[in-house]
Amino acid sequence: MSDYLTFEEACALLNTPRSTLYRWLKEDKIPGHKLGRQWRFLRSELDAFVREDVNDNYELEDLIHRLTQPKGDQNMNTPSPSIKEISEQLIWHAVDQQASVIHLSPRTNTYQLKHRRAQGISTIDELSLTAFGQLDEHWVSASRSIRREEKRRLFLERQTANGAERIHVRYQKLETFAGEHLALHLIRENKIATSIDMITHTVEEQMTLERWSKAHSGLILIAGRSGSGKTTTAYCMLQEIAKRDDRVVFTIEDSVDFTLNQVNQVSVDLNNEIEYRRAFVDIIDSDLDVLFISSNFAQRHLTTLWGSALSAAESGRLVLVQIEADSAKEARTQFAQATKRSIDDHLVGVVWQSLSTDPNSHRRTAQYNFLSGSLDQRVI
């Protein structure tokens, strides 16, 4: 038997398709020898590659066992989990630990697995480069991209004593000097506020947001500093609107954080003015009644975004716009200056909010300030 294998023989030994073997060669993940135009592989080197791959599987299995099994529980009869099972267990373990983000950070020849929780960030364990590659390859194959390969999303679901639990995982990879850094943002859908009564603290706050949600047309500005919960407030108002099932609701968002029932959510690169204009025209042509525009990170094109929002409000639609500002009055002034048109006759109101954190429970709560517009008193 020859010590060298052909390309086809190597594929058969590794039980992998030709495309995967080509990719491994391109990424220098597997030893190969170019003889003229043909690839040849030493059997001993491939055997060593297979053993290393198996060892990395054991590493991941051991990590899962240490993370999820009670101490002293050494049931050796349990079947070895697949990479799919291991990757999902890593995510669910983080969820059970109340983590909001999983970080896989490159270090010298290893990756640190970290969890971000309300109390801060902590290191959980370390993985080899190969183990990281296996996990990352599965997450890429199990997810779909959000306009770019480096930004993706996937959904997981499991059964609990309280019923089904669904989690939305936002995957983001960033190339750093030390290597690829991976962040998995964990959004627990059953923990997300989905109604106005879940985010307000007084009857007056609840009644104001519900009243504005019933407006037939006009402009609602949802303002606050970065990270103040503006998206959550907007989503709760959109759910209030959509639950009546009598209006067609659309959103234009740079990144869809949470799937809303009966709302048509469109993800658009808001920094791309041409792409935004095209999406806006298509949505207007779709016979909409309500539109939400998330404009936090489109500073270069705010005149375009806010001008189109005002035009939609002037044409009889209800439009919600997300704005970064230091007060409700500043949000109204910024919007009017950017559009160079009067908004007084079309303004339902401005809600400005901020977040504070309870030092004991670490729970974040919102404080609201309202500025009513001329259409506030006309809603039914």
Both 48 and 105 in a single domain? no
- At 351 the pLDDT is 96
Both 208 and 88 in a single domain? no
Which of 261, 245, 243, 334 is closest to 295 using CA atoms? 334
User: What are the pLDDT digits (tens) for 94-149?
Assistant: 898 889 999 999 998 889 999 998 888 988 888 888 888 888 999 999 998 877 77
Both 174 and 223 in a single domain? no
CATH number at residue 359: 3.40.50.300
DSSP H helical ranges for the chain = 7-14, 18-26, 43-68, 83-96, 129-142, 203-213, 230-242, 273-284, 302-314, 328-339
Distance of alpha carbon 311 from alpha carbon 205, whole angstroms? 28
**β-bridge pairing 33-35 and 38-42:** antiparallel
Both 174 and 197 in a single domain? no
Distance of alpha carbon 354 from alpha carbon 369, whole angstroms? 9
User: What are the pLDDT digits (tens) for 161-193?
Assistant: 777 888 889 999 999 988 999 999 998 876 666
Both 94 and 121 in a single domain? yes
User: What are the pLDDT digits (tens) for 325-354?
Assistant: 999 999 999 999 999 988 999 999 999 999
The last residue of a domain, from among 163, 190, 217? 190
Contacts of 106 (CB under 8 A, 6+ apart): 176, 178, 179, 180, 181
Calculate Rg over the CA atoms of the chain: 26
Both 357 and 223 in a single domain? yes
Distance of alpha carbon 353 from alpha carbon 65, whole angstroms? 44
Which of 331, 333, 312 is closest to 322 using CA atoms? 331
Using CB atoms within 10 Å of the CB of residue 344, give its burial: 0 to 12 exposed, 13 to 18 middle, 19+ buried. exposed
Both 126 and 226 in a single domain? no
Triad 59, 63, 64: Cα angle to 5°: 120
How many domains, the chain? 3
The helix/strand/coil state of 330 is helix
Instruction: Name the token pair of 272.
Output: 């791309």
Both 251 and 179 in a single domain? no
User: Which range among 153-167, 178-192, 357-371 shows the weakest confidence by mean pLDDT?
Assistant: 357-371
- 43 or 193, greater pLDDT: 43
Band of pLDDT at residue 52, cut at 50, 70 and 90: low
Both 151 and 95 in a single domain? yes
The helix/strand/coil state of 118 is coil
User: Which range among 50-64, 166-180, 205-219 shows the weakest confidence by mean pLDDT?
Assistant: 50-64
Average pLDDT of the chain to the nearest whole number: 84
Band of pLDDT at residue 313, cut at 50, 70 and 90: very high
The last residue of a domain, from among 42, 72, 102? 72
Residue type, 272: N
Band of pLDDT at residue 53, cut at 50, 70 and 90: low
Contacts of 365 (CB under 8 A, 6+ apart): 201, 355, 356, 358
- 266 or 148, greater pLDDT: 266
CATH number at residue 167: 3.30.450.90
The last residue of a domain, from among 190, 210, 229? 190
Both 111 and 202 in a single domain? no
CATH number at residue 44: 1.10.1660
Which of 169, 211, 191 is closest to 364 using CA atoms? 191
- At 74 the pLDDT is 46
pLDDT at 14 over 90: no
Percent of the chain with pLDDT over 70: 85
- 114 or 361, greater pLDDT: 114
Both 94 and 218 in a single domain? no
Burial 77-112 (b: 16+ CB within 10 A, else e): eeeebebeebbbbbbbbbbeeebebbbbbbeeeebe
Task: Return the number of other C-beta atoms located less than 10 Å from residue 137's C-beta.
Answer: 14
Which residue range(s) make up the domain with 148?
A: 81-190
Both 213 and 362 in a single domain? yes
